[in-house]
Amino acid sequence: MKVIFTAFLANLCLGWVLGNDPVSLVLSTDPTPVTPSTTIKPLPIYPIPPQPIDPGFAPSFSLSPLPPPPSNKEEHKPEAIIDQFNITSKISNRFAKTLITSKVKNPAANANEVVFSVVLPENAFISEFVMEIDGKSYKAYVKEKEEAKAIYDKAVQSGRSAGHVATSVRDSNRFTVSVNVEPEKKVTFLLTYEELLQRRNSQYELVLNVNPGQIVQDMNIEVFVNESRPLQFVRTPSLRTGNEISKSKNELDPKTQIEIINSTSAVATFKPNAMQQKEFAKELGGKENDGLSGQFVLQYDVERESNNGEVLLQDGYFVHFIAPDDLPALPKHIVFVLDTSGSMFGRRIEQLKEAMVSILDQLREGDSFHIIEFNTNVFVWDIDKPERVWADIKNEKEPFEDLLKKEYPSAVPVTKESVAKGKHVIGLLQDDSLTNILSSLETALHVVNVAVKKGKEGGAKQPIVVFLTDGDPTVGNTNTDDITSIVTKINSEKDQVPLFSLSFGDGADKNFLRKISLKNNGFARHIYEGPDAAIQLKEFYKQISSPLLAHITFKYTSEVKDVPKRVFPIYFKGGELVVAGRTKEKTLQCTIIGSHLNGTTELRSVEEKPVGSLERLWAYLTIKQKLEERKVAENKTVLTKEALDLALKYSFVTDVSSLVVVKPNDSSVADTEDASKKHGGSRGGFGYAASMVPMRMSPGAHYYGKSSFLRTSTAFQGLNGPPLMAGQSNYLIPGRRYYHSKPMVATALDPVFDPVIDPVPVPAPLPMPVPIPMVLVKRLPWLSNVLNPNNTLTIKGTLVDLGEHVSILGTENCTGTPKNNTEIGTCTLLSQCPHVYSLLTDFQAYESVSCIVQNNYAGICCPPVTNLVP
């Protein structure tokens, strides 16, 4: 029997918290006052020794048997037992080092394969992995990615396979490794990872995933905080599920023991007994006997001297923190660019509307806003009327000549009345047709440019573009590299507006949106599809709602070097700017210059004594910055080498380095993968064993792409815009399917695949469900009376599919369109010719102009769209 041993550890996120009260106390969600303890205990944790580590601190694990090989004999074997499960995190200088330790026993009379799988924070670097078996330690080592891949490929060629663990955790990566455990023997796994905690919403937040998959008698989580400045608060809010934002529940209060050691140090301990683990499991929506499955969170912040920064200097390395939250907020001009293509149909567009109504309520007097919607076409809303103005861009490489031909609605100043009108506009949004990303962003930059010119005459505002989409570009220029290049060129020539991208759901191209935001002074966030999507959107907006400084530069009068980043486009309230570097100086002088509400401002910094070494923090930040620059660089060679050299020196597993795991008589490669993806599963959320063949789909792992439904709005007839869709070549990409089932792909960069000896049966892929023709039936109600039970249609004696789930480029000419029975049209899918739906009053009217596409799909003789534009 094979057992999957899964450990979920944490999203070392960033956040805040409050706290106040006595020395040792049980904390609920109320703040714990940071008061020195009467009995001051030394904090036995700093500096952090490189190794070895007490094997009493561990992660979260899940145990679940894999399907056994076919056998005529039923045979029951006991599952592996987690004797001890501990997690220890040590935070100093906002830099967290987390050790996961788990001791697992194989109680069976025969050897078993155990898979160790840990969920890590998205921004964490693994720095050490050790397995202890029979009194011997096996320590992994870091190698260059391609060199490590050669080891992986060798394992592939030898036909090895490994259990694939299926769990889903947002904003995380998964690390997986397996080992053979002899009968009645134990193995201890020790994994260390490191991460800088980012400050968001005025707090730092450490998130640890806890999911042992069974009740553990010895479970212990400890977090040590030791900072250079006094702690403002420390708290542990309610346990979380990890996949949904929810309100705090008293039943999920971890009742953590928080001990304040002194003004700068605290220890939080969470040690649930067996009964508490069952109660938490039930409240979090799991089965009691599967044990606790959720996230343990610690939040804190430090005190600051007004708007001054803090410089830590030691042994030739420095780190500079600044969070000037006492400055008044800059007035902003925010442009919301919202995807209303067909794939936003249903729950997605409702969640977008719900979030936007809340976001509009958060706008401040002094701000102004635009609402731009895009599908096949782009519209700028005149919020006062309300009506929308079509942005007719014919030349996307040089769009401003076309854009200047029209006068677009101005940004609306924030008042109670304008916010109410904005909410009304949001309520009018409807999903339609395809996804025109390039023209939408060009239009947004144009309205910003016009507003900036007007602002120079009467008070400038900080422009911000918030761009949300749930899919790839499918109309106009669809090359994402071209779109990034054109938008960046336009923005650099104009106002260098910060562009913040939101990818909504699995269909969005996260890498593209991350790249275009990085090149345009912003960042990207992913909005996970779920009941809390609207809450995620609102939480994102909170982070960017209060810009305090723009065009910020750190100027050092002392000699410094190896500073990865010292210029920042914008600072938002509740965040933090961090700069690191090297210097030979004993003291460091720095001035921070930025644009503020009343002009340019200068901020100073106070030098503090750091807690422990700064070298690894500097290395972490430097590698992160080089990898970020590498994502958008045309030539990646130099940046790759620089990042790799540091990763190898400091043993960090990164995008350019991998971990080679050493085992008894074997070695294999371990990488991380996105932990928000599910790959099929069995009890406890675990998947089946999968063959290690590159570019092969994971068994049972299917996802469904979202449909760009080709629909025309009926709500805005006669307004300033064209019909929204046409079945013509410039609107559709040959071969693209807008709603289809597609296998997921496993590559050499997927998680570690280690040897599993016995063959494991692979389940057959699930059949693709028959799509329900919701869009066509809604637009052509008479269809419901003529559809066959399996959603097919009989046209002129031939049985055909409606074809809503495919996209086929019409190429054959036909005579007789709904507009004119002598007109030449193109035989196009019925779903791709929505601009004639108003002429199709019944089935007879449709059948007279129908055709059959590729001998299988319902088509229509579709007239060119230009024939319908006034």
Percentage above 90 pLDDT, the chain: 41
The DSSP secondary-structure symbol of 407 reads P
Q: Which two tokens stand for residue 271?
A: 């040690």
Angle between helices 510-518 and 480-493 (to 10 degrees): 20
Burial class of residue 682 in the structure, from the number of CB atoms within 10 Å of its CB (0-12 exposed, 13-18 middle, 19+ buried) = middle
Phi, psi of 58, deg, nearest 5: -145, 180
d(CA 339, CA 342): 9
The answer to whether 338 touches 429, Cβ cutoff 8 Å, is yes
d(CA 290, CA 295): 15
Q: What is the pLDDT of residue 579?
A: 95
Comparing CA positions, the residue from 805, 777, 641, 827 lying closest to residue 709 is 805
Q: Which position has the higher pLDDT, 808 or 320?
A: 320
Comparing CA positions, the residue from 810, 804, 759 lying closest to residue 163 is 759
Written out in words, the top-level CATH class of the domain with range 332-545 is alpha beta
Which of 175-179, 338-342, 610-614, 689-693 comes out lowest in average pLDDT?
A: 689-693
Side by side, which strands form the sheet with 599-603? Answer: 567-572, 547-556, 590-596, 599-603
Percentage above 70 pLDDT, the chain: 73
The answer to whether 561 touches 318, Cβ cutoff 8 Å, is no
Tens digit of each residue's pLDDT (9 = 90 or more) over 129-142: 999 998 899 998 88
d(CA 747, CA 672): 12
Q: What is the pLDDT of residue 668?
A: 63
Q: What is the pLDDT of residue 788?
A: 80
d(CA 319, CA 545): 27
Give the pLDDT mean for 402-412.
92
Would you call 512 helix, strand, or coil by DSSP? Answer: helix
Most confident of 90-99, 166-175, 781-790, 832-841: 90-99
Q: What is the pLDDT of residue 596?
A: 85
Question: Going by C-beta distance under 8 Å and a sequence separation of 6 or more, which residues neighbour residue 416?
Answer: none
Give the pLDDT mean for 520-542.
86
d(CA 728, CA 260): 68
Q: What is the pLDDT of residue 807?
A: 66
pLDDT surpasses 80 at 496 = yes
Q: What is the pLDDT of residue 209?
A: 84
d(CA 339, CA 439): 12
Average pLDDT, the chain: 77
Give the pLDDT mean for 603-613.
87
Q: What is the pLDDT of residue 693?
A: 25
Question: Where residue 251 falls among pLDDT bands split at 50, 70, 90?
Answer: low
Q: What is the pLDDT of residue 779?
A: 79
Q: What is the pLDDT of residue 272?
A: 93
The answer to whether 39 touches 261, Cβ cutoff 8 Å, is no
Tens digit of each residue's pLDDT (9 = 90 or more) over 672-698: 666 665 543 332 222 222 222 222 222
Most confident of 22-31, 238-247, 812-821: 812-821
Side by side, which strands form the sheet with 666-670? Answer: 141-144, 657-663, 666-670
Give the pLDDT mean for 398-415.
92
Locate the domains of the chain by residue range: 309-327+549-603, 332-545, 774-868
The answer to whether 24 touches 131, Cβ cutoff 8 Å, is no
CA distances from 443 to 75, 336, 449, 779 (A): 66, 11, 10, 30
Q: What is the pLDDT of residue 312?
A: 94
Q: What is the pLDDT of residue 351?
A: 87
Biggest alpha carbon distance in the chain?
Answer: 95
Comparing CA positions, the residue from 687, 746, 747, 698 lying closest to residue 6 is 687
Tens digit of each residue's pLDDT (9 = 90 or more) over 802-856: 877 666 777 788 999 998 888 999 998 888 888 888 889 889 899 999 999 888 8
Q: What angle do CA 595, 600, 605 make, to 5 degrees?
A: 90
Q: Which position has the higher pLDDT, 421 or 211?
A: 421
Ramachandran region, residue 710 (left: φ > 0; alpha: ψ -120 to 50; beta: rest)? beta
Comparing CA positions, the residue from 544, 869, 528 lying closest to residue 726 is 869
Q: What is the pLDDT of residue 243?
A: 65
Burial class of residue 136 in the structure, from the number of CB atoms within 10 Å of its CB (0-12 exposed, 13-18 middle, 19+ buried) = exposed
pLDDT surpasses 60 at 383 = yes
d(CA 520, CA 504): 20
pLDDT surpasses 50 at 33 = no
Q: What is the pLDDT of residue 99?
A: 96
What length does the chain have?
870
Q: What is the pLDDT of residue 75?
A: 46
Give the pLDDT mean for 326-347.
92
pLDDT surpasses 60 at 10 = no
Give the pLDDT mean for 423-431.
93
Ramachandran region, residue 54 (left: φ > 0; alpha: ψ -120 to 50; beta: rest)? beta
* Cβ-based neighbour number of residue 625 at 10 Å: 16
Question: Where residue 163 falls among pLDDT bands split at 50, 70, 90?
Answer: very low
Question: Where residue 316 falls among pLDDT bands split at 50, 70, 90?
Answer: very high
d(CA 247, CA 239): 10
Q: Which position has the higher pLDDT, 616 or 810?
A: 616
Q: Which position has the higher pLDDT, 456 or 725?
A: 456
Name the pairing type of β-strands 462-469 and 499-504.
parallel
The DSSP secondary-structure symbol of 32 reads B
Name the pairing type of β-strands 560-561 and 577-583.
antiparallel
CA dihedral 160, 165, 166, 171 (to 10 degrees): -110
The DSSP secondary-structure symbol of 865 reads G
Q: Which position has the higher pLDDT, 577 or 531?
A: 577
pTM reported for the whole predicted model: 0.69
Question: Going by C-beta distance under 8 Å and a sequence separation of 6 or more, which residues neighbour residue 276?
Answer: none
Q: Does the N-terminal peptide bond of residue 386 adopt cis geometry, omega within 30 degrees of 0?
A: yes
Would you call 410 helix, strand, or coil by DSSP? Answer: coil
Please report the DSSP string for 760-785 in residue order. Answer: ---PPPPPPPPPP-HHHHHH-TTHHH
Q: Does the N-terminal peptide bond of residue 769 adopt cis geometry, omega within 30 degrees of 0?
A: no
Q: What is the pLDDT of residue 774?
A: 59
Q: Which two tokens stand for residue 767?
A: 């059949």
d(CA 469, CA 525): 11
Q: What is the pLDDT of residue 676?
A: 63
The answer to whether 621 touches 580, Cβ cutoff 8 Å, is yes
The answer to whether 351 touches 343, Cβ cutoff 8 Å, is no
d(CA 187, CA 134): 8
CA distances from 754 to 114, 117, 595, 704, 748 (A): 10, 12, 54, 29, 12
Tens digit of each residue's pLDDT (9 = 90 or more) over 783-797: 888 888 677 888 988
Question: Where residue 586 falls among pLDDT bands split at 50, 70, 90?
Answer: confident
The answer to whether 352 touches 344, Cβ cutoff 8 Å, is yes
Q: What is the pLDDT of residue 292?
A: 86
Tens digit of each residue's pLDDT (9 = 90 or more) over 59-86: 333 333 344 444 444 444 457 888 999 9
The answer to whether 257 touches 37, Cβ cutoff 8 Å, is no
